[in-house]
Structure 1
Amino acid sequence: MRNILKATTLESKLPLLAVEHGCIISKDADITVCYEVTLPELFTVTSQEYEAMHAAWCKAIKVLPRFTVAHKQDWFVSENYKPELQKDDLSFLDRSFERHFNERPYLAHKCYLYLTKTTKERMRQQSNFSTLCCGRITPKELNHDMIVGFMEAVGQFERIINDTGYISLRSMGDDEIVGTDSTSGIIERYLLLSTDDVTCLEDIDLSPKEMRVGDKMLCLHTLSDTDDLPGKVSTDNRYERLSTDRSDCRLSFASPVGLLLPCNHIYNQYVFIDDHDENLAKFEKTARNMNSLSRYSRSNAINKEWIDRYLNEAHSYGLTSVRCHCNIMAWSDDAEELRRIKNDVGGQLATMGCMPRHNTIDCPTLYWAAMPGNEADFPAEESFYTFIEPAVCFFTAETNYRSSLSPFGIKMVDRLTGKPVHLDISDEPMKRGITTNRNKFILGPSGSGKSFFTNHLVRQYYEQGAHILLIDTGNSYEGLCNLIHNRTHGEDGVYYTYTEEKPISFNPFFTEDGVFDVEKKDSIKTLLLTLWKSEDDRVSKTESGELGSALSMFLEKMKKDRDIVPCFNSFYEFMRDEYRAEMAQRPIPIYKQDFDIDNFLTTLRQYYHGGRFDFLLNSRENIDLLNKRFVVFEIDAIRDNKDLFPVVTIIIMEAFINKMRRLKGVRKVLICEEAWKALSTANMAEYMRYMFKTVRKYFGEAVVVTQEVDDIISSPIVKETIINNSDCKILLDQRKYMNRFDQIQELLGLTDKEKAQILSINLSNNPNRLYKEVWIGLGGTQSAVYATEVSPEEYLAYTTEETEKMQVLARARQLGGDIEAAIKQLANERREN
């Protein structure tokens, strides 16, 4: 039966002939080279960096030969987050996090670049000569010399772009272009407007008023006439929603039709490189004609003036005459939604200063011309004359946040779409040379979510095998610690807190294997000096040396005599009896002004048997922290005790150093909340410096968390030791310190770019989601703002609100002490409400 429908097969109309060596060959002997483009992340680019990228694009396009089309194609497709629930090692909180984000919609972005070499005749053809209108396409023969010259120019183009450091081009292989048996290529994906690997063939209805691809209805907005363009274009614009009077957030000029347009769409950007000299000669002739006809119409005189200005610009600044076209191709399978999309696209074009033009005539032709490899089929009447520099301003220049490739890291959330992002802020930056250590400095005022973020960080580090030791002064980690203790049946999640009935006690003179290396001896000596000397007292070399000698003699004696109980009481008695007698018998006397042993014994008497603090250094339990993977020391009750606070803190630090030295190949993390103040005295400066510089060598990291700006500004120890040795800086909402932020910027060595990012925190949060933003900077070269959004289960485990913590504990008591079950019940109730 004869086919009487106005339909034809795609095979008979397809203008592409072959794909070889990553190039698409058309039946009209056009050759197209395909690249996948990687752009910098959204909200992380400064105005200077946008200008650098713009200059690179302009420089690269200038090396392309005449009659070349540069076609940049950006895909923005709505997708839903697919949780990683199939993993076997997911914890209770990990699984709740993945379920919380299940089916979370976001806009996925892919960017491609197609460079097509064609002929003068093809560059000038109009829509009525499109291959859609041809009955049968006869393949033409390729010009070998033309191909060689074009490929050399393309190589230069690629090198120029990749040398920027901001954009990277990757040549696409044949399988990526045409697909394989199991995956679809970019040509097939474009024809079906789908990013799925497995696609089914669908009809294409090329009706201009309502073009369809399967069930998808298309709408097309074009920028093809100078009358529709703004009076001025730029590389970037200020994004007001994330800017303040003290900082600028910059986005590319075309960003409103990129990631900020929340619908399925493709943004096509074309630059057509004609014969520059021929173009100018044609304009000279047109200007003369306009001038001769100016007396008959004022518009002729105005047009003549505009052409003269164009020619003057070209000759004065050596600009290259090109043609340009941009279009936004959006689609939906719902007519009501398509009307909304039309309005959204028009609104975003208006924010760029452009006149929204909904094209209902050339939609099929422009759709066909945007097919990878068919750029030479573009209708010439849909383009406008300009120069390379303003044409490139219409290129989008940013993409979504990317996840780290490292298997280790934490889950944060994209601040724009709410999609989970895997982020490695410890190992990957060191491997790439961005940082030289894993240490972190966290700064955030009260209520900014500082402890909540730190809970989120340490929970994920712990579940990936790290040993966590926390020094806390506000019960911020009690909920998480109790959950871990409950899940591990007491193996981990050890929570030490100071009470009058059961004070914290230690034994610095005890080791399981009886080995006291140099570092262990130094830490005990530092402890003794801290107990003896006040903050203002200077420690002389003689005092340090004598104390070190006494300690070595005692440890040697303890090794020989197994009856000696290793504790501070035994050391005190050794100093009082044997060492004092040994000093008296020396041929060279030791004077009191050099080493006053009586003053030492009198000052430390309160830590000896019968003294006020005799419990502190004489623990009989000999707490084994070496194999406990999550330990919290809550010392809020003694934070204002000038005698106990420094001692307890330094002993905990010594316990961490013991972990650091002995646990080979295991990640160790020490987190110091406000307890670092006790370590910032003159006596402790060397200890802190050693700690922060050495921990890197033992696969460890030290994290300091603080909220008081005055503390970090006033303490030179913090600046020289903590900040200078923390390559990862994490800041939360700093609007409370907006007027004083210049001091913080100078102290932390932040750039203006980083300052703008930090001051944009929480300025434009989505009211439909519960989260707080956090800025993470790595080595002064890489930084971004992320969102800390968690599931209800994680929130109940991390919360520092006393009423919510009491609610969890009360429900756990009802369930026989099962905290996990209590959190599950409360979280389900929250979701239902």
Structure 2
Amino acid sequence: MAQNRKRAFEGLYSQLEETDGHAVLFSARGDPSVIFEMANPVQQLCTDSEQYLRFQDVLSNLVQTLGEGYALQKQDIFCKQSYHHDVPEDAEFLTRSYFRYFEGREFTEIRTYLVITQEAQRGQFVQYDPKKWTEFHAKVSKAEDILNEKHIRHRRLAKEEVDEYCHRFMAFRFRHGPFSMTNFKASDEYLKVGGRVVRSYPLVDIDEINLPSRIKPYTQASVNGYPIATDLFSFLTSVPHADCVVYNQVVQIPGQRKLLRKLQAKAKRHGSMPDPSNRIAKADIEKVLERLAVDSSLLVYANFNILVSCPADKVTPVTSYLETKLYGCGIMPSRTAYNQLELFTDSFPGNAYAFNPDYDLFLTLSDAALCFFFKEHLKESEDTPLTTYYTDRQGLPVCIDITGKEGKVKMTDNANFFCIGPSGSGKSFHMNSVVRQLLEQQTDVVMVDTGDSYEGICGYYGGTYISYSKEKPISMNPFKVTAEEYRLNFGEKKNFLKSLVFLIFKGSAFPSKIEDMIVNQTLVEYYDAYFHPFEKFTEKQRAELRQKLLVDAKMDDDYEKYNHEMEDIDRLINAKDSPEVPESRALLLPSEVRRMKLVRQCRSLMALMRDKAASESEREHAAHIVEKYRRELYENTMLVKIDRQIDRMEEQKRRLKVRELSFNSYYEFAVERIPQITSLEKITFDIHNFAAILKQFYRGGELETTLNADLDVDLFNECFIVFEIDKIKDDPVLFPIVVLIIMDVFLQKMRIKKGRKALIIEEAWKAIASPTMAEYIKYLYKTVRKFHGIAGVVTQELNDVIDSPIVKEAIINNSDVKILLDQSKFKDRYEQIAAILGLTPVQRQQIFTINALDNHEGRSYFKEVWICRGQHSDVYGVEEAPECYWAYTTERTEKEALKTYLRHYGTVQEAITRIEADRKKAGSPKYLEFARQVNQHQKVMSLWES
């Protein structure tokens, strides 16, 4: 027996050589093979059936390209591994705790190898044919080109790697790190390898071939009541009790003409004996022949074999599990696989032509055979400088670029987001995790909260926590603008202030166009008066005003007024006395000088008209000129009035001084200036209501400090600021105003500071979701993108999305990152929601797999979240270390317990370390249960007995 095993293993390969920099493995039969390590392109639980079909096309293309005399062997290795992540020594405490929590966690790794083998020409000996050798390398290069073209990650294995791969296969040890060989003992049931057994499960019994009559490259699994596209063999990642599973897939491409002639002859034989079974057999063969004639399928010999390593006493449950799962796919595996050693050796890489054609291979179409190829890979970490860690569906940490724009693969250029999660879905816990990781990667974060959800993490990072109260209101001066900001960015600032004024004045109602025009004008003139104090109009300004006012005057002109004015002009011309001339001619306006001149000329011409000595033509000419001068005098009379009006306007502007920027000074400016504007423009504006409503924010008003006290300049240097405004969330006036001015503080901070900035608004965003705010929200979302910023809103209810056009137009349409937590209770309304969010059918299926998988065993508290960046979407797990949980918790009882430890130990980090250590010492009760015990004693656990 030992001699047979020795021959079995020693005769597997004849040579491993490196030619032209490429490793080629020769089987004992002389068949050359090249081995690629590759990644299956379909991510597990992507729910997208099109991805399976695309990979099926790639495999079909590979088979067509290789052609007759070649075999394609694919091996997917599912091996248990232990998680490890190198953590820098200077990493933050919570980050170190996070990776320590996952250290050593067992997970199933998927590694995939693709082997291309050429069948050697042989007679009595293997014959070397230089043409076939050149063709082999050309075919391998073409196959590599196909993989490159379809963006399937792959690489050729070097000689040392091929050698290690073959040895690992023989030892059946694919766990990372060193490995050793051990004794083999073969039986009809399995191979005994040290303390484990390796059993082969051929999928097809050649005598029966119990396969489904119709096959697709994927199957439909029901998750949460929805059909989800998955791989036929996705269950191989979770075979119980198995430490390693190898799924060996082989297709051999024989000579097609010879096989076709055999099939045609067989069809004739069946036709010559016209009984029912022969008629069915003939019809089946004819269908195959017709299929071969119509499309590009090939006839192939195939073998599919699952090799499982497990403890000897677990073979029966493993066998039962695999048979049950295969039955679900319509496959009845072979029950007569007594040649275990032969199946094992034939499954070695590069041994595709070692199978016995009498009982190991079955003939089928290439497209059908390729449906049985495994096509999935597990989630992988992204190549990105900004890392946000989640877990994959089996609990393994993976990092993604939450912005979608900073990673190697650019998914979007807009990092703005919205997050929707009903109460209890883990929304705040998730956002705490995201904020922690943003802060640790030098991101300035400003948060607006209504529920103390971020008090813990703010305290841990030593951020600024500003809680609004009547005794200590949040005070800011949004009207304060620097000279540089006025010069470079006044348009944006003016629009913000206009939104603020109308939020106070009109609430959620739309301002009229006249109201919008007047408030806009007051803001422009207010800042102009501060930065460019007015002395007088220039000649150019006077000329422009004169022209404008003249047009306005003509607009108001009518026939009766014209006749009245002309009568006055005629009386002036016919008057016997001369026009009054001031002592100093310099005091006259130019228009007044011209007027006096025209009157004198008209009087001379009138005298000529009365002169009997004058000819008829002279009198007619004089009358014509007099009429012309009368019109000019009419115009001149208007100009005199306009010039005097301009003088009054000049005096008004000179009186409107702005010495400091604040709401107080704007209020004083506006209530004086608006009546002047309405009088000049002859329009109406409810100045009394305007003044009365805004007055509460003016001097002596109840809310004076809200808009008039400068914000602490140190806030601009703070990396983490939380504005907690829960105490005013029911104040219809104050709440939206405070939210709006906090947003403006963020914009100022964003423009001043370099680096990444994030503004995250929890439920407070509803306060500003009004028609008057829509344009400002759009402006905010578009502006932050220019300054390496992120703006995000977080809400509980999908109704907010459905019912608010402001949310849709201003927030959703300007957010390329969508984050949804468990939405199962809304599935009856999801057609409407999906249309608003622009979700594809695949994305809808992904969303309804949230928290619906059987993946909770061996894991602590976690919730799943769906994240979409541009068109890239997936479901991730939010699972954190206990230390992170204590830092994030929003449960009041747990927060109070942590504060007890904080008072005793002095620092947040030490308090978290000690409370978690004590919880474990107490037998690891639930967090809430242990917190109640701490609160009951009002002291740390070490003092409970004293």
TM-score bin, normalised by smaller chain: 0.7 to 0.9
State the alpha-carbon separation in 2 of the partners of residues 463 and 562 from structure 1: 48
Match of 1:171 in 2: 155
Match of 2:445 in 1: 468
After superposition, what is the alpha-carbon deviation per residue over 1:672-730, rounded to whole angstroms, capped at 9, x for unaligned?
11222222222222211111112112111111111222221122221122111111111
State the alpha-carbon separation in 2 of the partners of residues 294 and 120 from structure 1: 41
State the alpha-carbon separation in 2 of the partners of residues 424 and 515 from structure 1: 32
Change (3 A) 1:24 1:679: same
Q: Is 2:130 aligned against 1:147? A: no
Q: Highest CA radius of gyration, 1 or 2?
A: 2
**What displacement does 1:177 show?**
3.4
**What displacement does 1:223 show?**
2.0
Change (3 A) 1:176 1:565: farther
State the alpha-carbon separation in 1 of the partners of residues 239 and 372 from structure 2: 15
State the alpha-carbon separation in 2 of the partners of residues 6 and 73 from structure 1: 23
After superposition, what is the alpha-carbon deviation per residue over 1:437-492, rounded to whole angstroms, capped at 9, x for unaligned?
1111111112211111111111111111111111111221122112222xxxxxxx
State the alpha-carbon separation in 2 of the partners of residues 74 and 657 from structure 1: 52
**What displacement does 1:608 show?**
1.3
**What displacement does 1:87 show?**
1.0
Q: Is 2:353 aligned against 1:376? A: yes
State the alpha-carbon separation in 2 of the partners of residues 543 and 506 from structure 1: 21
Match of 1:547 in 2: 523
State the alpha-carbon separation in 1 of the partners of residues 373 and 6 from structure 2: 36
**What displacement does 1:57 show?**
1.9
After superposition, what is the alpha-carbon deviation per residue over 1:7-64, rounded to whole angstroms, capped at 9, x for unaligned?
4696665333413343414164422232222222111142233223223322331222
Q: Is 2:818 aligned against 1:729? A: yes
The SS at the match of 1:625 is helix
**What displacement does 1:401 show?**
0.7
**What displacement does 1:667 show?**
0.8
**2:264 corresponds to which letter in structure 1?**
E
Q: Residues 672-751 of structure 1: matches in 2 within 5 Å?
A: 672-751=761-840
Q: Quick one: which of 917, 934, 940 aligns to 1:828? A: 917
Q: TM-score, normalised by structure 2?
A: 0.77
Q: Residues 177-216 of structure 1: matches in 2 within 5 Å?
A: 177-178=161-162, 185-195=164-174, 198-203=177-182, 205=184, 207-209=186-188, 210-213=190-193, 215-216=195-196
State the alpha-carbon separation in 1 of the partners of residues 522 and 12 from structure 2: 94
Contact 2:529–2:657 under 8 Å retained in 1: no
**What displacement does 1:618 show?**
2.3
Change (3 A) 1:693 1:353: same
Q: Residues 588-603 of structure 1: matches in 2 within 5 Å?
A: 589-591=679-681, 593=683, 599-603=689-693
Q: Quick one: which of 358, 364, 368 aligns to 1:390? A: 368
The SS at the match of 1:828 is helix
Q: Residues 785-796 of structure 1: matches in 2 within 5 Å?
A: 785-796=875-886
After superposition, what is the alpha-carbon deviation per residue over 1:414-447, rounded to whole angstroms, capped at 9, x for unaligned?
12x2111111121556753421211111111122
Change (3 A) 1:427 1:513: farther
State the alpha-carbon separation in 2 of the partners of residues 738 and 258 from structure 1: 29
State the alpha-carbon separation in 1 of the partners of residues 693 and 531 from structure 2: 22
Q: Is 2:318 aligned against 1:341? A: yes
**2:475 corresponds to which letter in structure 1?**
S
State the alpha-carbon separation in 2 of the partners of residues 87 and 223 from structure 1: 47
Match of 2:378 in 1: 400
Contact 1:238–1:251 under 8 Å retained in 2: yes
**2:14 corresponds to which letter in structure 1?**
P
**What displacement does 1:175 show?**
4.8
Change (3 A) 1:602 1:195: same
Q: Is 2:888 aligned against 1:801? A: no
State the alpha-carbon separation in 1 of the partners of residues 347 and 413 from structure 2: 46
Change (3 A) 1:514 1:436: closer
**1:776 corresponds to which letter in structure 2?**
I
Match of 1:497 in 2: 467
Change (3 A) 1:98 1:474: same
Single out whichever of 31-40 and 508-517 deviates more from structure 2. Answer: 508-517
Q: TM-score, normalised by structure 1?
A: 0.87
Change (3 A) 1:812 1:73: same
State the alpha-carbon separation in 2 of the partners of residues 377 and 737 from structure 1: 56
**What displacement does 1:736 show?**
1.4
Match of 1:568 in 2: 663
Match of 2:864 in 1: 773
Match of 2:632 in 1: none
Change (3 A) 1:562 1:574: closer
Match of 2:246 in 1: 266
State the alpha-carbon separation in 2 of the partners of residues 471 and 452 from structure 1: 16
**1:222 corresponds to which letter in structure 2?**
P
The SS at the match of 2:66 is coil
Q: Is 2:262 aligned against 1:282? A: yes
Change (3 A) 1:525 1:366: same
**What displacement does 1:611 show?**
0.5
Change (3 A) 1:325 1:120: farther
Match of 1:327 in 2: 305
State the alpha-carbon separation in 2 of the partners of residues 795 and 821 from structure 1: 15
| Gap runs ≥5 in structure 2 | 535-655, 925-946
Q: Residues 41-80 of structure 1: matches in 2 within 5 Å?
A: 41-80=43-82
State the alpha-carbon separation in 2 of the partners of residues 306 and 206 from structure 1: 44
Q: Quick one: which of 403, 411, 414 aligns to 2:389? A: 411
Match of 2:701 in 1: 611
State the alpha-carbon separation in 2 of the partners of residues 56 and 819 from structure 1: 55
State the alpha-carbon separation in 2 of the partners of residues 111 and 687 from structure 1: 52
State the superposition RMSD in angstroms. Answer: 3.2
Change (3 A) 1:739 1:445: same
**1:171 corresponds to which letter in structure 2?**
R
Q: Residues 439-450 of structure 1: matches in 2 within 5 Å?
A: 439-450=416-427
Q: Which one has a larger percent helix, Structure 1 or Structure 2?
A: 2
Contact 1:93–1:793 under 8 Å retained in 2: yes
**What displacement does 1:566 show?**
4.7
| Gap runs ≥5 in structure 1 | 123-137, 180-184, 486-492
Percent identity of paired positions between Structure 1 and Structure 2: 33
Change (3 A) 1:4 1:79: closer
Change (3 A) 1:576 1:312: closer
After superposition, what is the alpha-carbon deviation per residue over 1:230-253, rounded to whole angstroms, capped at 9, x for unaligned?
34322221112x242xx3211022
Match of 2:199 in 1: 219
Match of 1:15 in 2: 14
**What displacement does 1:206 show?**
6.3
Contact 2:822–2:865 under 8 Å retained in 1: yes
